Amino acid sequence: MTKLHLILKSFSARELSTFKQFLKNPLVNQRPDIHLLFEYWRLKRGILDKKDGFKYVFGKQAFNLQKWHLLTSRLFKMVEQFLIQEELKKDEIQQKSLLARAYRNKQIPSRFESTIESTRAQLTKTPVRNIEWLHQKLDTEYEYYDYIASHNRQSRTNLQTVNDQLDEYYIASKLRNACLSISRKTINEELYEIYFLEDVLEKVKASPHLLESPAIAIYYYCFRAITETESEEWFTNLRRAIGHYSKAFTPAEKRDIILLAINYCIRKLNTGDEYFIREAFELYRLSFLEGYLLEDKILPESTFSNIVRLASKLKEYEWAERFVESNREYLKPAFRKPLYYYSLGLLHYEQGRLKESMQLLAQIDTKLTFILLAVKSLQIKIYYELQELDALDYLLESFRVYLQRRSDLGYRKENFENMVQFVRRLVAIPYKNELEKKRLIEEVKAAKIFSERDWLLRQIERRS
């Protein structure tokens, strides 16, 4: 698939129609052969046959491969110009910034200053207060500083404003990247160097007024929450800031921020802190209702799975089943069937329908890691509760070997290794041996990462 075909194939019907008008504009394109090649592409529904296409564009001319490649290259450049134009249309601040620069280059100071003031006014008026907004403010003030400094070096400048804006932009950007880096490290064990982070944290601590910036506040509270998990104060501040600054970020940014908060909740859940079940569920439900969950019309599989898991723990069975049925189509094809059966299996299990749950899990045939982990964990619980001990023993051993071979599971590996170890210990407790029960209870409670803590403690207490 050529790069030209790849881009054009991604266009919607509206974009193809708009691009057609773009090519007809003589200020943009004065070559009819480029327009004809695009029409040929549409006629053939994206299949570009060199010789047939050349004949469509150039008529009876003898086929020339170099001329064909030059033509497709020119159309590709037109496509890229169109994409730039379409993106620029969405960004009025960037348009004003470019206009101000043009006036300055044309040496029309009155129009330059008027455009800068208009840009400042629009930046003040917009409800968005994200990192991109801080960058736009910095660019605007720097453009004005450069204008003053180049005209009269004796005049007082706005350099202090430039420095203040640079600090805000840098601090917010550094904090956001730190949050994302730690999140990636937690999930995939990816390691990153984060230079000057301590200086940034100290600066915010020493200058509380910086927290008046929504971008700084959100990512500062987020960073403190995910790095100081023992203190719930930072998560409370983050949760409050998410509600307070709901209009300060774009939908995509809101999704990322809420997912960072949810990841905090999930990690707390994996330590056995069930208080965060409702918190995580409500954050997901907020994202779902406001349309933040879809990424390019795709629902991430981890998001889908977590929502079902949390809803089932809260006994929101009907809501969860409606969610599964109405949203499985948004999953990537590879996840659609296995995650659907796993989700229904989980809901059946939570309702005590163990054999029905096992039948659903038996229909799952996948090598996808996170689904395999979830399925095996659920099967272990079902086999134990049904007292199918031979099947349980076989599953525990195969699961142990699987985990031993995997070095890419992050904190999840410890969680599932604990599951295998503790269930084996539970099965091995002699009849009415209270001392062994007590020892196991103490070890389960002491485990730092174990998402099934409450389930296992219940099973220990029931063991006679």
Q: What is the DSSP string of 317-348?
A: HHHHHHHHHHHGGGS-HHHHHHHHHHHHHHHH
Residue 354: band (very low, low, confident or very high) from pLDDT cuts 50, 70, 90: very high
Q: How far apart are CA 217 and CA 367, in angstroms?
A: 41
Whole-model pTM: value is 0.73
| pLDDT above 60 (res 1) | no
Give the pLDDT score at 189. 66
In this structure, what DSSP letter does residue 295 have? B
**Which tokens sit at 285?**
């439900």
Quick one: average pLDDT of 314-330?
Answer: 92
| pLDDT above 70 (res 184) | yes
Quick one: average pLDDT of 280-284?
Answer: 88
Quick one: average pLDDT of 359-366?
Answer: 92
Give the pLDDT score at 47. 75
Q: How far apart are CA 306 and CA 303, in angstroms?
A: 5
Give the pLDDT score at 101. 92
Quick one: average pLDDT of 106-122?
Answer: 94
Residue 18: band (very low, low, confident or very high) from pLDDT cuts 50, 70, 90: very high
Tens of pLDDT, residue by residue over 38-76, are 999 998 876 778 899 999 999 989 999 999 999 999 999
Give the pLDDT score at 187. 62
Residue 347: band (very low, low, confident or very high) from pLDDT cuts 50, 70, 90: very high
Tens of pLDDT, residue by residue over 195-216, are 999 999 999 999 999 999 999 9
- Report helix, strand or coil for 438: helix
Specify the range with the lowest mean pLDDT, choosing from 118-127, 270-279, 345-354, 451-460.
270-279
Tens of pLDDT, residue by residue over 286-303, are 887 777 777 778 888 888
Give the pLDDT score at 153. 66
Task: Kindly report the average pLDDT of the chain as a whole number.
Answer: 90
| pLDDT above 90 (res 443) | yes
| pLDDT above 60 (res 446) | yes
Give the pLDDT score at 274. 77
Tens of pLDDT, residue by residue over 128-182, are 999 999 999 999 999 999 888 777 666 788 999 999 999 999 999 999 999 988 8
Quick one: average pLDDT of 94-102?
Answer: 93
In this structure, what DSSP letter does residue 232 have? T
Residue 431: band (very low, low, confident or very high) from pLDDT cuts 50, 70, 90: confident
Render 359-374 in DSSP notation, one character per residue. Answer: HHHTT-----HHHHHH
**Which tokens sit at 264?**
């905090």
* CB-facing half-sphere around the CA of 313: CA atoms within 13 A: 21
Identify the CA nearest to 215 among candidates 189, 185, 188, 244: 244
Give the pLDDT score at 188. 62
Give the pLDDT score at 464. 63
